[in-house]
Amino acid sequence: MSDPITIATLSAEEMEATLPELLAVLRDAIAGGASVGFLPPLDDEEGLAYWRATIAAVGGGSRVLLAARWVGGPILGTVQLDLAMRPNGRHRAEVSKLLVLRAARRQGLGRALMVALEAEARRIGRTTLILDTRQGDPSELLYARLGYRLTGVVPQYARSADGTLDATAFYHKLLPGEEG
């Protein structure tokens, strides 16, 4: 990356103000074949409904959203931390929707977002992280390099754009902190 990037946790209000940018990142990821719960093409109504639900979760304190951008520029990528809210799970969270615009990939944004997410997780006392991704996706290499361990694979878990059922790999990482 030639320009400095910033990664920040966005409030619900900041998310609302950047809704077109968030929608563009989600749409780009889906158009590029990312397995993030949607099938292409993503229409505005479906994308906006997703982001509005995410804004509500952030506003309600059950989710954290981090966004990356070049200084002064639009959002290039996001990642979310879904917080377990029950008393026996307040030490864990699920990593979801690591999205980076295709034009901004291979510059370290995904890694930077994950490192920032882990720092935020530790800051709020979340030491057990889980995530899932389509088996065989390039993201598996990123997660492995960051120390995530394969927990298991579920065959035929998610439908892809071409209609096939893809296996999903589940990963976990124990952050330094609370010991079991």
Q: What is the pLDDT of residue 134?
A: 97
Written as six digits, the tokens of 53 are 């639900």
Nearest CA to 91 out of 124, 64, 117, 59 is that of 124
Strand boundaries in 15-83, DSSP class E = 63-70, 75-83
Cis amide prior to 41 (ω within 30 degrees): yes
Nearest CA to 66 out of 49, 54, 48, 53 is that of 54
Beta bridge partners of 172: 130, 149
Q: Domain-by-domain residue ranges, the chain?
A: 5-126
Q: Are 116 and 7 in contact (CB under 8 A)?
A: yes
How far from 128 is each of 65, 82, 109, CA to CA, in Å? Answer: 17, 12, 23
Superfamily of domain 5-126: Gcn5-related N-acetyltransferase (GNAT) (3.40.630.30)
* Chain mean position to CA 75: 14
Q: What is the pLDDT of residue 40?
A: 94
Q: What is the pLDDT of residue 50?
A: 98
pLDDT tens-place values along the chain, 180 residues long = 457 899 999 999 999 999 999 999 999 999 999 999 999 999 999 999 999 999 999 999 999 999 999 898 999 999 999 999 999 999 999 999 999 999 999 889 999 999 999 999 999 999 999 999 999 999 999 999 999 999 999 999 999 999 999 999 999 999 997 665
- Collapsing DSSP to helix, strand or coil, 37 comes out as coil
Q: What is the pLDDT of residue 1?
A: 46
Q: Per the confidence metrics, is the pTM higher than 0.85?
A: yes
Q: Exposed, middle or buried: residue 156 (CB in 10 Å: 0-12, 13-18, 19+)?
A: exposed
